[in-house]
Amino acid sequence: MSLVRLEVAGGIAHLTLCRAGMHNALVPELLEALLGALGEVRDDPRARAVVLAAEGPAFSIGGDMRRFQRERGDLQAYSSRLVGLLNEAILALVDLPQPVVAAVHGLVTGGSLGLVLAADFVYLTPRVALKAHYTTAAFGPDGGWTALAPRLAGLRRAASALMLNRTIRADDAVEWGLATEVVPADALLDTATATAQRLASFPAGTLRAAKDLLWGDRAALAAALEGERRHFLDLVARPEAIEGVDAFLRDFHDYPHDQE
């Protein structure tokens, strides 16, 4: 079963995360599939805008904690691969010549926030909750929690969410500049698609120039994401990380089980 579905119709590329049974928890295989799909979108002249969405009860619950637990024998090597691929996916979204519209529902936790922050437009349902969980798991922040979130929300707000593990509700995410608008759940995909269709009607060169200028120094972003990866690897090599994974899975009894 494909972990990412790509459909192109009417000038819009629809990218959908399809690991629904695991709430789209991030694993290398999903990120590799996403990178492959993004490469296809980049080279497809039919695709003039992108809608990024997800199946299942949540957009994505971040790195798969059960997979971290299974990889405890060489957690640092696994984490290097996972966070490296996540960074590549974030940069690929930013580098796409087409504008990206994210349609986000449910939970967005840990590194999966990076897939949201890398979009150009972000629509949320009212029950969306963004949460870091790094202090819970004793991991280092990744997914742009330090590389992107402070730029959008400000240092103090990012610090409260990251260090105090504060839940960011949908309305707060818009107020903080992390999202574009909150829309009813039953209108989420229609709203995101309508925005993508409007974007697709504009000159592609103008949109590309606007995107390049708005995102600014791509090399600086790549360096900041690499800094997150290095700190993640440093912390995940410590005993607290294994203890944190076990404690996280004990505390969150409703954490999904593999269904693939």
Domain boundaries, the chain: 4-187+203-251
pLDDT for 152-177, tens place per residue? 999 999 999 999 999 999 999 999 99
Could you tell me which residues come within 8 angstroms of residue 198 by beta carbon, excluding any fewer than 6 positions away? none
Q: How far is CA 193 from the centre of its chain?
A: 19
Q: What is the CATH number of domain 4-187+203-251?
A: 3.90.226.10
Q: What is the pLDDT of residue 1?
A: 66
The pTM score is: 0.97
Q: What is the pLDDT of residue 254?
A: 87
C-alpha 203/C-alpha 34 separation (Å) is: 26
Round to whole Å and give the CA distance between 122 and 136. Answer: 27
**pLDDT tens sequence across 99-120:** 999 999 999 999 999 999 999 9
Helices (H), 121-238: 134-137, 149-153, 155-163, 170-176, 188-200, 204-215, 218-236
Condensed to tens digits (0 to 9), the pLDDT of residues 129-153 reads 999 999 999 999 999 999 999 999 9
CA distance 61 to 63: 7
Distance from C-alpha of 9 to C-alpha of 200, rounded to nearest angstrom: 11
Q: Please list, residue by residue across 78-103, b when 16 or more beta carbons sit within 10 angstroms of its beta carbon and e when fewer do.
A: bbbebbbbbbbbbbbbbbbebbbbbb
Separation between Cα atoms, residue 136 and residue 128, nearest integer Å: 20
Measured distance CA(98)–CA(111) in Å, rounded: 23
